[in-house]
Structure 1
Amino acid sequence: MGSLLISAMFIFVSQYIKKNEHKIDCHYFTILKNELFRLIG
């Protein structure tokens, strides 16, 4: 159940980033990605 939630979150974040790519800078994306991987453990 937990992994399903994380997968859904990851997909949502990916879609958000694709839509707002021009607004989000690379540094922010890296931080976000690191946070996600930390949550996944």
Structure 2
Amino acid sequence: MGFKDIEKRARDYAEKMSESRKKEQEHSELIAAEDQDKTE
């Protein structure tokens, strides 16, 4: 296992994390919008 392998894995992992964080943000925005609909 060379340094390049570790670097690539770290980059792949970082991309996965940022994508899942984006999805979570979109999801919480959807929930917030639904909550607003209920209160109006």
In the superposition, the TM-score normalised over structure 1's length comes to: 0.50
Indicate the residue corresponding to 2:26 in structure 1: 11
1-structure distance, mates of 2:17, 2:27: 15
Deviation at 1:15, TM superposition (A): 0.3
Bigger Rg, which one: 2
1-structure distance, mates of 2:26, 2:18: 12
Aligned length: 22
Return the structure number with greater helix share.
2
Percent identical? 5
Tell me which stretches of 4 or more aligned residues in structure 1 moved more than 3 Å.
none
Structure 1 residues not aligned, in runs of 5+: 23-41
1-structure distance, mates of 2:34, 2:18: 24
